């Protein structure tokens, strides 16, 4: 039975390795190597690797992207701002997927989702160029149906729902706020799926917050970075990823992507 016929959809884990590069760059040099971390992440069960090449190159570098493209045999999801420079890099490497994110130099991390509805004319040619190159295009947006509609209208195949607000409310111990935001994410995921978009989610997810998001049936991929790399300091990268994977599977006990081909 296929997902469309009613079976639960498998849920992929994309491991974001940006902050391995953050630590490397704190001293310069080559250690710790984010590409080595990507290999370990794959060995620990990551279904894909995610990396954000920022305009200011504060963590991932152009060389990292080249090496990840050449060395990693899992899908690479390149997070990128909608700029000519990033488009040229993406077209050079043709990653499996590109997630278009808003980017401000002064922010510490990606704050809020992309305003696709307000920038349709500027974004449409970029989406066209990436899709024509064979890259799956994802829009990193707030759980807002208007942004989903705009994403579909300009040809994106995927939306990644920003879970940052949900995770911040959880961290603040705001139970009702957290529930309300989770409800927004659930409704938005159902809406996006209903209009034919593939649904991903990510930002700020932790062991504590991942379960409720993993349980959203329309969601097929979570991208998780900062918490995993932080936990790796205490437990090692492979156990941290293994524990996250186990929590996802507990919330969503369906066949994993890489196990599907093994049945029979
Ligand atoms: N998804 C997107 C689009 C992001 O920009 C980020 C942060 O780079 C993540 C997921 C991962 O967020 P975090 O590092 O907080 O897990």
Q: Which residues contact 154 (CB under 8 A, 6 or more apart)?
A: 116, 120, 123, 124, 127
Active-site position among 19, 39, 59, 79: 79
Q: Where are the beta strands (DSSP E) in 18-113?
A: 48-52, 76-80, 97-100
Q: What 3-state class would DSSP assign to 52?
A: strand
Q: What are phi and psi of 164, to 5 degrees?
A: -60, -45
pLDDT score, position 75: 98
Query: Counting atoms of ligand 1 from 1, which one is nearest the CA of 164?
Result: 15
Pick the residue whose CA is nearest to atom 4 on ligand 1.
203
Q: Which residues of the chain have pLDDT under 70?
A: 1-6, 105-110, 254-264
7-251 CATH, one of 1.10.357.10, 3.40.50.620, 3.30.450.20, 3.20.20.70? 3.20.20.70
pLDDT score, position 8: 73
pLDDT score, position 263: 44
**Stated pTM of the model:** 0.93
Q: What 3-state class would DSSP assign to 140?
A: strand
Pick the residue whose CA is nearest to atom 5 on ligand 1.
110
pLDDT tens sequence across 90-108: 999 999 999 999 987 666 6
Q: Residue 155 has which token pair?
A: 């040809």
Residue 15: CB within 6 Å of ligand 1?
A: no
Active site annotation includes 203:
yes
Burial 160-188, CB ≥16 within 10 A → b, else e:
bbbbbbbbbbbeeeeeeebeebbebbbeb
Active site annotation includes 59:
no
pLDDT score, position 104: 75
Tell how far the Cα of 195 is from the centroid of ligand 1, in angstroms.
24
Q: CA 13 to CA 39: how far, in whole Å?
A: 14
Q: CA 257 to CA 147: how far, in whole Å?
A: 28
Q: CA 115 to CA 260: how far, in whole Å?
A: 36
Active site annotation includes 79:
yes
Ranges of each domain in the chain: 7-251
pLDDT score, position 103: 85
The sign of the torsion formed by the CA atoms of 178, 179, 184, 188 equals positive
C-alpha pair distances (Å), 131 with each of 86, 103, 240: 15, 21, 34
Q: CA 135 to CA 133: how far, in whole Å?
A: 6
């Amino acid at each position: 039975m296929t997902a469309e016929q009613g079976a639960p959809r498998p849920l992929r884990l994309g491991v974001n390795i940006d902050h391995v590069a953050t630590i490397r760059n704190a001293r310069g040099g080559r250690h710790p190597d984010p590409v080595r971390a990507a290999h370990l992440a794959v060995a620990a069960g990551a279904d894909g690797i995610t990396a954000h090449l920022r305009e200011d190159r504060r963590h991932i570098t152009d060389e990292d992207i080249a090496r990840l493209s050449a060395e990693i045999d899992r899908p690479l999801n390149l997070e990128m701002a909608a700029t000519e420079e990033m488009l040229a890099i993406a077209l050079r490497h043709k990653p499996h997927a590109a997630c278009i994110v808003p980017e401000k130099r002064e922010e510490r991390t990606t704050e809020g989702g992309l305003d696709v509805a307000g920038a349709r004319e500027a974004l449409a040619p970029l989406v066209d160029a990436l899709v024509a190159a064979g890259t799956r295009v994802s829009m990193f947006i707030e759980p807002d149906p208007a942004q989903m509609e705009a994403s579909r209208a300009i040809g994106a195949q995927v939306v990644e729902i920003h879970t940052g607000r949900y995770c911040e409310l959880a961290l603040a111990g705001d139970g009702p706020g957290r529930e309300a935001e989770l409800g927004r994410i659930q409704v938005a995921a159902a809406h996006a799926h209903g209009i034919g978009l593939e649904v991903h989610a990510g930002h700020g997810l932790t062991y504590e917050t991942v379960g409720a998001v993993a349980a959203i049936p329309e969601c097929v991929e979570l991208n998780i970075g900062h918490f995993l790399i932080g936990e790796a300091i205490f437990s090692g990268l492979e156990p941290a990823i293994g524990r996250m994977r186990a929590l996802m599977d507990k919330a969503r006990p369906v066949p994993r992507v890489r196990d599907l081909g093994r049945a029979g």
